[in-house]
Chain A
Amino acid sequence: MKKEFFSTQTPLGETLSLYKNFWEGPELSETLAIVSGLHGDRLNGLMAASRLSRFLGDIAQGREPDFKITGNIQIFPVVNLPALSEGNAAWSYDNLDADRAFPGLEEGDLTETLCHAVLQQTAQSDYGIILQTAEPHYTDAPHIKMISANLKSLARNLDLRVTREIAEFPALTLQLIKQWHALGMASFILSAGTPGVVDPSQSDILFESVLNFMLVTGFLSHTHRKGHKRELDFYPAKNECTLLTKHSGMFLPKSKVGNWLNVDQTVGEVVDLYSGEVLETVTAREAGFLVTLRVHPLVHEQEPVAVLLTRKNKRRFWPFS
């Protein structure tokens, strides 16, 4: 069911509203909050959220008779509405990254009040999932991010193999996931793809991941499908290996996210913008899973172009963890 939870007016007097979709399970059910659209250009999550809403709507209407909604589910497809309508990551009026504006303000500038409203609406939830992509100029292989390693067992419900610990840093406190974490919610970010691009195969992966989570965690039931807990590769933050360029120029990737790279395997080349001459071959310093790769070609010296998740002390969580 679609419900308005925030409304204001523009200076010209037009209404600006935020909506959520929600479905209620039996009394005393747990609650799952799903958020996308923290940035106006992270579109895979938006597509996945929209598909989830349609699917849950179909169940509620009896069009998926084998499924039943057995928990409370809320979907917030859009947070930074003005940014989305501009097609930008942030809204040009305040240039404020909404995922650096939590917990927001009850009374304040619009982006802050939008963040406050979403946090208020989700704060009573037991679980939170944020649908994201890589940062601007990068692409991500589909993977799970989480603050607490204690959630490893639950992360297996998300049916994505690669799970990455989010390192603590001061501005993390301004992000939704950290606010949820502080409230005691079991919270995850699912990231896939690149800003500004819809990749149906990646938004399908996000959709299937959340669907599996809902089945295994008890938000949905099915007459015979149970969902499954997947084997998980958990990579602590300290196992991340960032590859930097030595030269400035144009970076041309020679690998793909989702690949396992061996030591010295080529990740890409930096070529001179004017001569086209190859200045440098960027190679894997360590063996690892290529989770993030630069997509914008222009790079400075010392620019991060890839993130590898390496297996130093790697631990696999299956079947008893």
Chain B
Amino acid sequence: MKTKTLVLFKSPLGAPVKVIKQIFTAFKGRPVKRVSFVTGLHGDELEGLVLCHRLIQALRQLKQTQPEAFLGDIHIYPAANPSAVNSATRLWPFYSEDMNRTFGQGSGDSVPVQVSRALFEDLKAHSDLAVDIHSSNKHLLELPQIRIIENFAGTLVPLAEQTCADLIWVHPMAGLFESTLGYNLNLAKIPTLVIETGICLRIHPEFGDQLFHGMMHWLNHIGVLAIRNTPAKYIKAPRIIYPNQVALAMARQSGLFVGQARLGSQVKQGDPLGQMLNPMTGEVLEEVVSPGTGLLFTLRQLPLVYAGGLLARVALDREPEP
């Protein structure tokens, strides 16, 4: 393993802002493919840090015991926004900048943008495929899933099918994706899978296990590693869902949401998901029920909710009647 520093800025107080990557090269000759894993664009999303740690640990070990298993190059960027990771904040502190809204041409010259640019150029120069790992914000808990903008579905869905995630969610393009790393890499013809898993500031070891084995399985499938040791219990075909197969439960009124359903469970339309409470009066404002029959893959964790806030998402077993 080689460590490379791709960004180094001296901060006002002397400590550097440093973005590094760990490189595992092919055993011999040209790599069959070059794959990059990026995490920590949002500094409070820690599931990706654990996943990268597991990958680095396993790959280091593999380099020692079975170096010939490396048929391609693997680049791991374990903390793309180190200032935010050190502060455990979503945004780059001091600038309050969402680094995953700074990609693409003409975004300026601020320090976060300069770091984004350096990261993007490095990824472009050294990747044939990429994986960008995120967790949800502080409001929602997510099952491990791959999110794919429908414009790129043709290339990405077959790749995502080998990741052992619970879901592949193909969703429409929207303006907010235009400045993200994943969209811009895909636009630059570097197929990039965006993982969304868990919730910020917390770690779910079972999701970490699933994604770690999923990523090793995927690296094997795409021919970057020659290993066959994914435990059978982790091998699964993700459920692929399209926009009309996602049913949402939203808060009709503001209040306190107390959930009673379990993320990852199979729910039927009308099953109870929780209650909306008025903490001041003791009233139950609303019995929240499942908006459809299927897999409960998103569930609200921050109980304080404003009307219109998302409470749950269900991946429907059947497409609704038109």
Contacts and interface: CB of A to CB of B under 8 A. Distances in A.
The majority secondary structure among interface residues of chain B is loop
Interface stretch (B151-159, B173-181, B189-197, B204-212): B173-181
A34 interface: no
B13 A10 contact: no
B254 A9 contact: yes
A25 interface: no
A100 B254 CA distance: 24
A100 B101 CA distance: 9
A171 B110 CA distance: 14
Interface stretch (A89-97, A150-158, A260-268): A89-97
Contacts of A136: 95-96
Nearest to B285: A13
B309 A110 contact: yes
A60 interface: no
A108 B310 contact: yes
Given A171-B102, A174-B176, A109 B308 contact: yes
A248 B14 contact: yes
B167 to A, nearest CB: 21
Contacts of B10: 247-248, 300-301
A299 interface: yes
Given A169-B108, A171-B101, A302 B308 contact: no
A107 B250 contact: yes
A293 to B, nearest CB: 15
Contacts of B14: 248, 273
B86 to A, nearest CB: 14
A42 B105 CA distance: 27
By CB atoms of chain B within 10 A, which of A11, A244, A299 has the most? Answer: A11
Contacts of B107: 169-171
A32 B178 CA distance: 30
Nearest to B176: A174
Interface string A4-26: 00001111110000000000000
B255 interface: yes
B179 A8 contact: no
Contacts of A302: 9, 111, 114
Contact of A300 (B12, B98, B101, B308): B12
Interface stretch (B60-68, B237-245, B274-282): B274-282
A168 B178 CA distance: 12
A299 B9 CA distance: 11
B109 A12 contact: no
A242 interface: yes
| Interface range, B side | 35 or more
Interface in A206-246: 242, 244
B191 to A, nearest CB: 19
Interface in A48-100: 89-90, 93-95, 97, 100
A163 to B, nearest CB: 19
A242 B111 CA distance: 13
B278 A113 contact: no
Contact of B109 (A168, A242, A247): A242
Interface string B196-230: 00000000000000000000000000000000000
A143 B305 CA distance: 40
B102 A244 contact: no
Given A113-B308, A171-B107, A302-B9, A95 B254 contact: no
Interface in A284-309: 298-304
Contacts of A10: 254, 306
A94 B9 CA distance: 29
A160 B183 CA distance: 39
A281 to B, nearest CB: 17
A177 interface: no
A100 B180 CA distance: 13
B109 A301 contact: no
A250 interface: yes
Contact of B111 (A8, A100, A303): A303
A167 interface: yes
B176 A8 contact: no
Nearest to A296: B94
Contacts of A193: none
Interface of B: 9-14, 17, 90-91, 94-96, 98, 101-111, 114, 137, 139, 175-176, 178-179, 184, 250, 253-256, 278-281, 304-310
14 contacts: A8-B254, A8-B307, A10-B306, A11-B279, A12-B279, A12-B280, A13-B280, A100-B176, A167-B106, A170-B178, A170-B179, A171-B101, A247-B10, A250-B12
**Closest 5 A/B residue pairs (Cβ):** A170-B104, A298-B12, A169-B106, A170-B179, A170-B178
Given A110-B308, A136-B96, 4 more contacts: A13-B278, A13-B280, A169-B104, A170-B184
